[in-house]
Structure 1
């Protein structure tokens, strides 16, 4: 018999277990709000833990810039678990490949100060099952445990950081899933024609294996998994994979492939035994076990069960039929599941790795064209309402009924705050893969660092909504409120514009970030990711800086007409600081002001 426990109250409620949920809760709590994080699983981290993808998918600039201070702290804490080893797994897909337990521990350490201060409460084992609205706002969300017990979470602002955007339909928010179709926005990677909501990307139930080389000499005992031959032939199982250039890339298990590609085994290796001691442990997340028969959105349990069965079949193939590197014989019987590394009873992921979520539906979602390289410029099209940064190629795996993958490069891009705000209810924010982006564009935000950036922006916006007693849309739509929020974000080490040579901690960071996001970059500074703040600004660049500073207030440039003429001889970065300080002083009566 189900029971209902007393309601839980918060300023900001974050629903979800993944990296977006962690980042949103952290951002809202460090802003001083009372936050409740309602997680589905005991382990926080999503992609990095329960979904078994702790080989972090990131952009090429991650070691030097383009990420927030909190995400960098997450990476640093993972490395600290291994006494500073930069890449504990030595996997070649990422600069940080680690065991799920290390990612989990890093997350818990990041959140601990907020929990200890009483600003953050983490509730685990809860699934959202219903929502109540009042006067166009989301008043509460009902959460249910596995034993049937339910509780209502009441908050001023809600962040949906679930893996599949589960809160959107419960709250009555407009949403979309699958392909919008090429007719909608003219995106080359969208499926031809009109909407195809069933064309959801594949999901994967990854698994972790160790390798005992001596056991390779022993035959595999026991029957093949049910349906093995069908899976093997339909996928098909192979170490070849289609490249972005439509050519087959050929791999070998432990040696370089005939095309020179690095070994399959080290692709997502999570533990490098030669460095850390013990055996290697590797994650298997490959085209061979991508499941694209049923939608993980429409049929979540069936998709998980079938994807897990597919992975079991792929493991059997690796152990029995995979061509050996020496060309003599088939299969590597020494590959065995590693539950202790996976953190699960059987070595398989606790939940599927979802490449797609329900997404907020708005009139102007982020599109493929918004993320593509712009000739002569180093960045994608600028978003003045930026709340963070991300970068990953648009990477569409097979879609239900459409087996072909699709790919397009991106330029360094931003997280527009307007893409996080639901039209209704007015106090609901997207905080993970469910931002207002098309299927094509969302495929570039879905990875670890992108999801973190979306969640962090949503958490900061939620906190300011509470601080100012304004709906999130009012903050994003009011230039002074938006400037105040962006100043808060940059003050917390969150970059909102790509300026790699002015990192968090630089005294010019906030000023450069605010003006760059407001459109101040011209000439060489627009053509490169380094803005050279120490160099002088010519007349055109000074004009661009003045215009951008005026935009921070939503007012004409004349508010800066009386600026001391000596500023004309300042460096570009020092002039940015002077202008932004003036702008924030002007904004102080209504937006609270901030020093830079």
Structure 2
């Protein structure tokens, strides 16, 4: 079993040394985190002529794009504004299928709202090709250990295997914001109160109907899967993040189906609250979202509108601030929960027979993630640290203040947050808290288009002058709930890579780049910057 390699956050015991000294390698741009944003940043910087290292703490490259998220959220966005490497990624996926004589149910050339889907191994192959063609040095299993700063200048980073890396410019492309935190850049986690930025969608959110069941056991204690008896003041923020889960690639095709592994242990009592939910639900539905994929497969996802689903509410709260060993444990907890829930939903008599039978047809895919026992190697970290940078994006930047003088991307995904808490209200009601149902335009099923300013990915100049942060960028929880999807991060990541290469070439602080010159290079790499 290679379960812990999947997250690859266990400290390596053997140091890489030369003549008793740590090996030091130099580059122009160092990208930490081989997420889709990190891949795009690395490729874009390399295409600008920079020598690029892409360090990844795990042995998995591509984040959730090659880790099971195969249902592109760009169907809920203005695709005319998603150009550059995002468009090229999908063009290459389409070409991959076409070469093998497979007709996809969409065309990348048509900028409509059809769903763009692909299999994880195809995405991985395309990502590998992009990186190799660009000449990026991909260095997996490099876990960040320390950073060295000289004033506001980040000089080098070390990894747990004893290697040292110096660069002129750095890009933190992790979902968690690990490099920015190590570099002592200001950050927050969780949710703001409504008054901090005047956001109506901040604070506590209760859009789902309450469930008329008790969330307490016979002693008055919380049942498993209930997080609290008190959600806190409605207008206040907290340190809760939206639920994490896996995006599983599944199939019902017996020729490719691998049975779900048995959980290490299974306690039916863990799902007592779900059992009570089904006993009172008049219109029961399948609790996992299943999206059709090529290859007779489906992408299984946490259902944002469902009372119970694939995510452990509260299970990811400690992830970002934890050490390697604790993250490995949290990863295993999410896998264990998913396996137990699958068993519950396919065997427990409280679940309607048609729903049990529907889900039981599905298993893992023999031709996906073979090195990981066919399980996704990537936990879906929907929200981590958020930098407090030169400009903080808020709800108004998404809904009204949509034009910026220094745009590096156009984003148009709806404001959309999964659950953050599950609350037992007294002895007769359970309610989920934290969901923000997609805030869409009235005419089309997408969010309003708005420009992401360059200042949102730069730290304050008195904190760090050669770091860019395209994923854990500077935004409130509400604004982040719109930005937090891979099409956005890929686009912002590409712009971050271009800016990093330009800053390295000119040996300038990232905050002092001449925007017209940066814009020229963004457009040269086919980025879309104007609102559609």
The match for 2:87 is 72
Change (3 A) 1:238 1:301: farther
Distance 1:130 1:270 in 2: 41
Distance 1:237 1:459 in 2: 50
Contact kept in structure 1, 2:84 and 2:491, CA below 8 Å: no
The match for 2:50 is 33
Distance 2:15 2:453 in 1: 41
Change (3 A) 1:213 1:33: closer
Distance 2:278 2:292 in 1: 16
Distance 1:174 1:105 in 2: 36
The match for 2:74 is 58
The match for 2:529 is 496
Distance 1:2 1:421 in 2: 35
Change (3 A) 1:332 1:23: closer
- 1:3 pairs with one of 15, 19, 36: 15
Distance 2:246 2:371 in 1: 12
1:134 equivalent in alignment to 2:150: yes
1:406 equivalent in alignment to 2:436: yes
1:456 equivalent in alignment to 2:474: no
Q: Give the structure-2-normalised TM-score.
A: 0.76
Distance 2:272 2:404 in 1: 46
Contact kept in structure 2, 1:421 and 1:430, CA below 8 Å: yes
Q: Deviations over 1:350-384 (max 9, x none)?
A: 13101102111136410011101x4xxxxx62011
- 1:323 pairs with one of 352, 356, 362: 352
Contact kept in structure 2, 1:215 and 1:333, CA below 8 Å: no
The match for 1:591 is none
Measure how far apart 1:314 and its partner are: 2.1
The match for 1:86 is 104
The match for 1:166 is 178
Contact kept in structure 2, 1:237 and 1:288, CA below 8 Å: no
Larger RCO of the pair (alpha carbons < 8 Å, separation 6+): 2
1:384 equivalent in alignment to 2:424: no
Distance 2:162 2:261 in 1: 43
Q: Secondary structure at the match of 1:365?
A: coil
Distance 2:369 2:105 in 1: 18
Change (3 A) 1:330 1:166: same
Change (3 A) 1:355 1:332: closer
Contact kept in structure 1, 2:389 and 2:458, CA below 8 Å: no
Change (3 A) 1:68 1:230: farther
The match for 2:29 is 12
The match for 1:354 is 381
Distance 1:450 1:239 in 2: 37
Change (3 A) 1:162 1:228: same
Distance 1:108 1:234 in 2: 44
Q: Secondary structure at the match of 1:8?
A: strand
Contact kept in structure 2, 1:209 and 1:281, CA below 8 Å: yes
Q: Secondary structure at the match of 2:163?
A: strand
Structure 1: runs of 5 or more not aligned: 243-247, 254-263, 274-279, 375-379, 476-480, 500-596
Change (3 A) 1:172 1:215: closer
Measure how far apart 1:158 and its partner are: 0.5
- 1:156 pairs with one of 152, 168, 174: 168
Change (3 A) 1:76 1:498: same
Contact kept in structure 2, 1:159 and 1:428, CA below 8 Å: yes
Measure how far apart 1:135 and its partner are: 2.3
Contact kept in structure 1, 2:85 and 2:491, CA below 8 Å: no
Measure how far apart 1:62 and its partner are: 5.2
Q: Deviations over 1:116-139 (max 9, x none)?
A: xxxx21111111121111122110
Change (3 A) 1:222 1:390: closer
The match for 2:220 is none
Change (3 A) 1:252 1:135: closer
Change (3 A) 1:13 1:400: farther
Question: Bigger CA drift: 314-323 or 411-420?
Answer: 314-323
Distance 1:67 1:302 in 2: 37
The match for 1:573 is none
Q: Deviations over 1:207-263 (max 9, x none)?
A: 3332158999xxx999876354244334579899x9xxxxx996469xxxxxxxxxx
1:271 equivalent in alignment to 2:294: yes
The match for 2:215 is none
Between the two proteins, the alignment pairs up a number of residues equal to 444
The match for 1:469 is 507
Change (3 A) 1:392 1:344: farther
Q: Secondary structure at the match of 2:249?
A: strand
Structure 2: runs of 5 or more not aligned: 1-12, 18-22, 107-112, 204-233, 424-431, 441-446
Change (3 A) 1:472 1:238: farther
1:101 equivalent in alignment to 2:133: no
Q: Give the structure-1-normalised TM-score.
A: 0.68
Distance 2:133 2:175 in 1: 26
Measure how far apart 1:453 and its partner are: 1.3
Measure how far apart 1:43 and its partner are: 3.2
Distance 2:167 2:37 in 1: 18
